[in-house]
């Protein structure tokens, strides 16, 4: 299984060379960038849109936009964070279309009061995920993160799943570092709270009632 | 240190980006406050579980189809320039 380390770009020098070749018209160089990051873009898009079809569209639209705008890419940020910023914007646009009655923005719902951040204090098993089959676990994790406001889950996915730094996440989303930190804390705690239902230690049997 | 203060620092504590003095204070709080210990431990597990289980894997056939479509459009764009 892929680890968090190699999800994010390793050699930036080599990558910059690819970007420059692609910009100069080398289509194979662009294809290599596509193959390097399409899984990540899909994962991010699916987390934000919560819709398979939309996520596939986002992958296409984001890479095409990146290709068109390659000459606008500034070497001062990583290609990956630049690409992710394009993908996040595309994904949020899709989400807005689906929920046309509701505006979706990165400034969504921050009204949770501090006192309600944690309510569940039960211990979990050491490896609680082993209680479930892989597909069942995927279901639980997917449904749980789906319940978070879009602004929260986007921050969580970029920072904790994709392994971007807090600063990179802030830059990608156009948020301040304190805003990222506050959303991240709420996202982490809300997920924890919701997952407790599935993962907390059972009193008698091996599953909670 | 109160539980509320602990919670405020939880992110940096989990990310390992605290200065050693504050880190020691938090660790001390964890020794006697079981609630915060559980919150800290289960939050760490929450992050790990999401990291280690790819909820949204892109299946190979769909991946190939997308790659082909994208590259075709890129080539078309290149020609039209
Ligand atoms: Zn406490």
Shortest distance, CA A195 to any CA of chain B (angstroms): 8
How many Å apart are CA A189 and CA B63, to the nearest integer? 33
Residues 12-41 of chain A with CB under 8 A from chain B are 25, 27, 30-31, 34-35, 38-39
Predicted local distance difference test score (pLDDT) of residue A107: 55
Which segments of chain A belong to CATH 1.10.1740.10?
4-100
Predicted local distance difference test score (pLDDT) of residue B55: 85
Predicted local distance difference test score (pLDDT) of residue A7: 44
Is A145 touching B (CB cutoff 8 A)?
A: yes
Which segments of chain A belong to CATH 1.10.10.10?
128-205
Shortest distance, CA A100 to any CA of chain B (angstroms): 25
Predicted local distance difference test score (pLDDT) of residue A202: 78
Predicted local distance difference test score (pLDDT) of residue A209: 42
Across the interface, of B11, B53, B77, the residue whose CB is closest to A129 is B53
How many Å apart are CA A174 and CA A204, to the nearest integer? 48
Q: How far is the CA of B52 from the centre of ligand 1 (A)?
A: 28
**pLDDT for B39-67, tens place per residue?**
999 999 999 999 999 888 899 999 999 99
Mean pLDDT by 10 residues, chain A (209 residues): 42 85 94 96 94 96 96 85 94 85 53 62 89 92 91 95 93 93 94 94 59
Predicted local distance difference test score (pLDDT) of residue A54: 95
Fold type of domain B3-80: Arc Repressor Mutant, subunit A (1.10.10)
Q: Kindly tell me if the per-residue pLDDT of B2 is higher than 50.
A: yes
- Domain positions in chain B are 3-80
Fold type of domain A4-100: Rna Polymerase Sigma Factor; Chain: A (1.10.1740)
Predicted local distance difference test score (pLDDT) of residue A4: 36
Asked if the Cβ–Cβ distance from A124 to B42 is below 8 Å, we say yes
Please state, for a pLDDT cut of 70, what percent of chain B lies above it. 99
Q: What's A128-205's CATH class?
A: mainly alpha
Q: Please indicate, yes or no, whether the overall pTM of this predicted structure exceeds 0.90.
A: no
Structure tokens at A121: 């204090």
């Amino acid at each position: 299984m892929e680890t968090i380390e190699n999800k994010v770009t390793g050699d930036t020098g080599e990558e910059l060379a690819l970007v420059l070749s692609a910009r100069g018209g080398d289509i194979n160089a662009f294809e290599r960038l596509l193959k390097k990051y399409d899984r990540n873009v899909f994962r991010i898009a699916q987390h934000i849109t919560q819709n398979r079809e939309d996520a596939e569209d986002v992958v296409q639209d984001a890479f095409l936009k990146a290709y068109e705008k390659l000459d606008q890419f500034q070497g001062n940020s990583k290609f990956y964070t630049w690409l992710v910023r394009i993908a996040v914007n595309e994904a949020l646009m899709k989400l807005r279309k689906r929920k046309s009655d509701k505006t979706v923005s990165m400034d969504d719902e921050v009204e949770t009061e501090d006192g309600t951040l944690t309510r569940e204090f039960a211990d979990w098993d050491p490896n609680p995920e082993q209680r479930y089959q892989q597909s069942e676990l995927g279901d639980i994790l997917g449904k749980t993160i789906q319940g978070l406001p879009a602004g929260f889950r986007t921050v969580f996915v970029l920072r904790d799943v994709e392994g971007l730094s807090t600063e990179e996440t802030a830059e990608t989303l156009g948020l301040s570092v304190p805003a990222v930190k506050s959303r991240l804390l709420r996202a982490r705690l809300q997920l924890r709270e919701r997952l407790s239902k599935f993962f907390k230690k059972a009193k008698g049997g091996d599953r909670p009632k | 240190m109160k539980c509320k203060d602990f919670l405020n620092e939880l992110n940096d504590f989990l990310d390992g980006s605290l200065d050693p003095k504050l880190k020691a204070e938090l660790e001390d709080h964890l020794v006697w406050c079981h609630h915060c210990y559980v919150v800290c431990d289960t939050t760490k597990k929450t992050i790990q579980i999401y990291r280690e289980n790819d909820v949204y894997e892109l299946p190979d056939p769909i991946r190939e189809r997308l790659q082909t479509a994208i590259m075709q459009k890129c080539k078309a764009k290149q020609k039209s320039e």
